[in-house]
Amino acid sequence: MHRAPLAAMLLALSLALMPGPAQAQAPSPASAPASRTTYKIVTASERGTYIQIGRDLGRFVAPAAQIDLQALPSAGSAENVERLRYEPQVKFALVQSDVYQAFLDVAAGGNADAGAMIRPLRVIMPLYNEEIYFIARADAPFDFVHEIKGARINVGPLRSGTAMSATTLYRQMFGAAIPDATTSFLSNEEALVKLTGDKSIDVVVVVAGQPAKLLADMKPEARQLIKLLKFDANHATGKAALGSYFQATVRASSYPNLLSADVPAVAVKAFLVTYDFKVASTARQLGEFALALCQNFAQLQAQGHPKWREVDLRLPPLGRGWSYYAATERALRRCTAGQASTAAKAPSAQTCTQQERILGLCK
């Protein structure tokens, strides 16, 4: 490739990775109504899906519970666990399932710090699957995730959920940790520039619910520089990973500038988490927040991030060591039960025949 075209494409990629115009923020405490309580939710990168989910909760849910909810960026899930546990006013966190489980496992192994952080935390609800992207250069000699053993891999910043997912997934697939000599912990943006620039990195792992702003904002020229690796669920290494992770599809429609076809992928579950608050007023307000979430769920799905369309308000059984927060669990179960009861009493559209629908006779 000639130097000038390469430089132009690198510039296009770097421009695609630059932060865009500032997004609307939640109202500051000074502008919030005096009757509202200010709470915070810790999310992840400014260009990721978590912070958009947090802002949606602040916009469509929190006001109905008299809460001014501020979405804060962070390094990711591992940092979020610590900040939820110890940082004032942080009442919510978005945490990946494998990170939550890793804290539980380390605590069970005798680590007192891990136990102190994770045992008082409680789940509000599971959210959606987050896709795990393995990004390589367009001319890389591999096309599948199971071919990256021995490659130089950027797993994301320390204390991030991406780093936990990338290293855990690799270990489950290949039976060993990524060697320290071939592991880097740069941000997604820094790593992608190195991947395509000095080529000191072979694979960049990104964890984000689609459409992820980082990839969606890329210019069409990026397709000449990078590609997404496919996850083969039928390969022995793929099967080994599906005990903790889930099959997924990265849709071309999510990234039309980057993909011409859907890509089989793997995903991790995201959870909305809180602390086991014992103060009655706090528990009551978090219960009101959960009720507002249920009552405004249709608006979240219609106007929020597309990932809300994958969320189910029904609360499934949790894994061993996991617990729901009692106040929010009661509110969500009561609300969803009421909705189900109302739906059961409503006339079913399926009782209308095709002819009745055509004639406009369905009530």
Q: Is residue 279 domain-resident?
A: yes
Question: Which of 220, 235, 268 is at the close of a domain?
Answer: 268
Average pLDDT over residues 338-356: 48
Percent of the chain with pLDDT over 90: 71
Q: Domain residues for 162?
A: 129-268
For the chain, what is the mean pLDDT? 86
Question: Which of 253, 268, 283 is at the close of a domain?
Answer: 268
What is the model's pLDDT at position 150?
A: 94
Same domain, 59 and 184: no
Same domain, 250 and 148: yes
Number of domains in the chain: 2
What is the model's pLDDT at position 320?
A: 81
What is the model's pLDDT at position 219?
A: 93
Same domain, 171 and 113: no
Q: Is residue 25 domain-resident?
A: no
Same domain, 136 and 264: yes
Q: Is residue 124 domain-resident?
A: yes
Q: How many whole angstroms separate alpha carbon 328 and alpha carbon 332?
A: 6
Residue 189 has pLDDT above 70, yes or no: yes
Same domain, 52 and 154: no
What is the model's pLDDT at position 340?
A: 59
11-47 tens-digit pLDDT: 455 544 544 444 444 444 444 445 799 999 999 988 8
Q: Is residue 1 domain-resident?
A: no
Phi, psi for residue 297 in degrees, rounded to 5: -65, -40
Average pLDDT over residues 275-292: 97
User: Which one is predicted more confidently, 261 or 32?
Assistant: 261
Q: What is the CATH number of the domain that holds 245?
A: 3.40.190.10
Q: Is residue 66 domain-resident?
A: yes
Same domain, 123 and 168: no
What is the model's pLDDT at position 226?
A: 96
